[in-house]
Structure 1
C-alpha cells in the first residue's frame, strides 16, 4: 500500500452488535499482541518499562480500540489514533529500529488480532459472510495504520540533517528525470522535505574554476542543489532574482554559472541541458565569457550549435563559391555578406557598419553576385547563409579579437591558382 493511501477509508459496514461482542476482548488482546511482537521480532525483545513500553502498548491499544469503535459507529474520528501511530513511527526511527521491523510489527498485530476474531466469532456463531467482512475490514484498517506509522517514520528520517540533504538530492533527481517522474511522486517527496513545488523553476549549471575543489555552501532552503558530481547544478524556484543571483555568486566564488530559462518542473531537465550546453559554448568562445550566462538570451545560438557537423556541412556547401579567394579576401567578402544580409541590401547601411565607402560595398557586392549568381536572390539561400554566418564564434568570445578573425578557419580551403587576379580592388 502506498504511503498516505486509504487514510480516510472506513471499514465496510458491519453489524454494530459486533462491537459489544469484541469489547471485552480488548485488554487481553492488546497484551497478547505486544507479547507476540516481542517474541517474534528481535528488535522489540527488550524490557517494556519506561517511555518505550508505554509507546508500544499505547499504539496497540489505540489501534484495536478504534477498530471496534468504528464498528459501533463508522463516523468515529480517527485523528487521535492516527496521531499516536504517526508518533510511534517517528519514535521507532529515532530509536534506531529499521523500517522492516516496524512493518513486521503491524503484520504480527494483524495476525494475532485475526486469530482472536476467529476464535470469538466461532464462539458467537457468526456467519461466514460476516467473518469475511471482518477479515477485509481488519486487514484494510491495519494497512491504514501501518501507512500512518510509515509517514511518521519517514518524516523523522527526513528531519535529520544528513538524511534531509539526501532526500533533497533525491527530490532534485526526481524532478530532472527523463521521462518526467509522476507529479504525485514529486509532490509526496517534496512534502516530506518541506519543499513547496513551484509553478516554474530555473535550473543553474555550475562550472568550477580549473583545479578548484567541490564546494558545499549553505544555500537558501528553497534551492535544491547537487554540487558534488561531475555536472554540478542547482534548481531555483521561480525567477532568479538579482538578489538571489548575488547570493549564489557569493556562495560560489569564481564559478561560471549558466541560468536556464524558467520552465514548469516537468521541463526542468531540458532547461538544465541547455544551460550545460551554454557553458560549453562559453568555453569554446562561441558565447561571451561572462561570470553568468542567461540562456534565454542565447536560444538561437544554442539551436545553431545543436548539431555542429550539420552546420559545417551547410557552411561548406553555401560558401564554396568563395573557396578560390585568399583568407584575407574571404574575410572581407564574408564581412560584407554578413552586413548586407543584416541590412537587407541597403548599401548605405552596409557602408556605415563596415566603415567603408558605399562604392566599395557596391564593388564587393558585384563580386559576391558574380560568385553566388542568382542564389543571393533566393530567400531560402539568404536564410541559410545567415544561419551559417551566425554560427561563427561571437566577437565577444575570448578567442576572437576582431569581427572577422577566425572566419578563414570556417571556410573551405582556397585552391592555389587565380589568387592574384581575385585580390584586385578588394581593399577598403
Structure 2
C-alpha cells in the first residue's frame, strides 16, 4: 500500500515541506550516504584516496550529518528549531581544503555530486509514495537551497583558515591549555579573558587524551573546540565534554595509527588529573597490562589504574602481608598464591575452587591447609584480607606484561 501526500497541502509555495516526508526519506539515508561518498570518490580525483584518512573521515561524517540534518528540518513543526550539527563539519571541510593548499573547486564539485545523487534517489522514491509534482518541485528547491547553505559554510571555514595565521592562533590556544592544566585559582580571570579572545567557550567538563611522542596530526580534521599540544615529549589533547563515539572517531582520523588513552571526564579544574590518568593508562597499555584497542578509556580500567598507581607501595604491602610465604620456592609460592586468590575471589568450596583452577579438590584442600598454617589469623582480619587480595590482584595484572621486556609493544602504535 503506498502513502499519498495530498497535493493540495503544498499548493501555496510559502508553505514548508510536510513533516510526513521525513519518515519516507529517513530509511533511505544510510545507503544514500554510502552511494554519495562512493560517487564523490569516483568522480573527483582529489578525493579518490583512502577514505580512512582525516579528510575521508570528515567527508563521510559530513555526508551522513548533512542528510540527517536535511530530514530533521523537514520533520520539525513550522517555527520549531531543528537540531543542526552540520555547520561545524562543513567549516571543517573548508579548513582542510585550505590547509591542503587546494582551491574550493573540488569541494564545491563534491557538493554538486552529492546533490545529484540525492536527487536521483528521490526520483526513485517518489513513485513508490505517489508524491505529487508539486511536492517534488518544492523538494527540489529545498535540496538545492540547502546545498547552497552548506557550500557557504564550507567557504566560511576556508576563508577563516586562509585569513587567520595558524601559528599565532595555535600559540595562544596552547597557552590557554597550559593555564587550564596548571589548576591555579589565580588563573581563572586570565583563562576567561584568553578564552573570550579566542572565542573558545569554557566547557563544564573536559576529557584529556594522551598519546606518544613524534605523533603526526591533521589539526584541520579536529573539531574547532579541541585544544592540543603535540610538540612535546608527551603529546595530549583537551576535548570539551565526554569522548563520545563521534569524538573518538574524529581523534582517530586526525591521529591515525597511534594508540591513544582518554582520561576521565572532569571539571576543567581537574584537567591535570584526567591527563595524569590518561598517561598512566597509556603506559599500562604499552606494557601489555591493558589491552583495549587503539583508544584506551580510563573509565574502563579504574581498578587497574588504582592498584598499579604506586608499584613500590604495592611491593611494600606484599612484603608485609605475604612475608610468611618467603620460605617457599618460587613455584610453591606461585601455586599457593594462585589458590589463595581464587579463594578470596570466590569463597567457594574446594570442589568449586578446583574447577576454577582445573585441579583436584584434594589438591585445593592441601594448599588451603598450607595457607592457613602460613597466614593464620590474618585471613580472619578484614583489613589484612583486603590488603592481601589487592596485592594478589596487582601482581596478577603486572604478570600480563612481557617478562622479557616488560612491554608488549615497543611503540605506541595502535
Q: TM-score, normalised by structure 2?
A: 0.54
Equivalent residue for 1:217?
219
Q: How do 1:27-426 residues align onto structure 2 when only pairs under 5 Å count?
A: 159-208=164-213, 212=214, 214-215=216-217, 217-218=219-220, 219-288=222-291, 290-394=293-397, 397-399=400-402
The superposition leaves residues 7-46 of structure 1 with CA deviations (integer Å, 9 ceiling, x where unpaired) of xxxxxxxxxxxxxxxxxxxxxxxxxxxxxxxxxxxxxxxx
Aligned residues of 2:216 and 2:255 also touching (Cα < 8 A): no
Task: Provide the secondary structure at the position in 2 that maps to 1:176.
Answer: helix
Please report the RMSD computed on the Cα atoms of aligned residues, expressed in angstroms: 2.5
Asked if 2 retains the 8 angstrom alpha-carbon contact of 1:289 and 1:398, the reply is no
| Cα offset, 1:298, TM superposition | 2.1
Change in Cα spacing, 1:183 to 1:213, as seen in structure 2 (3 Å) is closer
Larger radius of gyration: 1
Matches of 1:396 and 1:381 in 2, distance apart?
A: 23
Are the aligned partners of 1:203 and 1:261 in contact in 2 as well (CA < 8 Å)? yes
Could you tell me whether the CA contact under 8 Å between 2:212 and 2:233 is conserved in 1?
no
The whole-number CA distance in structure 1 between the counterparts of 2:269 and 2:398 is 35
**Conservation of the 8 A alpha-carbon contact between 1:202 and 1:260:** yes
Q: CA deviation at 1:224?
A: 0.6
In structure 2, distance between residues paired with 1:203 and 1:311:
27
TM-fit CA distance, 1:193: 1.0
Whether the aligned pair in 2 keeps the contact of 1:285 and 1:394 (CA below 8 Å) is no
Please, which runs of 5 or more residues in structure 1 have no aligned partner?
1-157, 407-428
2:313 is paired with a residue of what secondary structure? helix
- Name the CA distance, whole Å, in 1 between partners of 2:347 and 2:185: 44
Is 1:159–1:193's contact at 8 Å kept on the other side of the alignment?
no
Q: 2 CA distance for matches of 1:321 and 1:240?
A: 46
CA contact (8 A) 1:206 1:255 kept: yes
1:335 to 1:180, Cα distance in 2 relative to 1, 3 A: farther
Q: Is the 8 A contact 2:206 2:268 kept in 1?
A: yes
Say how many residue pairs are matched.
Answer: 242
Q: CA deviation at 1:166?
A: 1.4
Q: What are the Cα deviations for residues 240-292 of structure 1, in whole angstroms up to 9, with x where unaligned?
A: 11122112112212211110100011111111111112222223333336322
How far apart, CA to CA, are the structure 1 residues paired with 2:377 and 2:208?
Answer: 46
Structure 1 length as normaliser, TM-score?
0.52
Shift of 1:365: 0.6
The question of whether the paired residues in 1 share the 8 Å contact of 2:281 and 2:305 is answered with yes
What is the rounded CA distance, in whole Å, between the counterparts of 2:226 and 2:319 in structure 1?
45
Structure 2 vs 1, CA of residues 192 and 389 (structure 1 numbering), >3 Å: closer, same or farther?
same
Q: CA deviation at 1:185?
A: 2.4
Equivalent pair of 2:215/2:255 in contact (CA under 8 Å): no
Structure 2 unaligned regions, length at least 5: 1-162, 407-414
| CA distance in 1 between partners of 2:293 and 2:396 (Å) | 15
Counterpart CA distance in 1 for 2:185 and 2:258 is 29
User: Alignment partner of 1:352: what SS?
Assistant: helix
Query: Does structure 2 conserve the Cα–Cα contact (< 8 Å) formed by 1:216 and 1:227?
Result: no
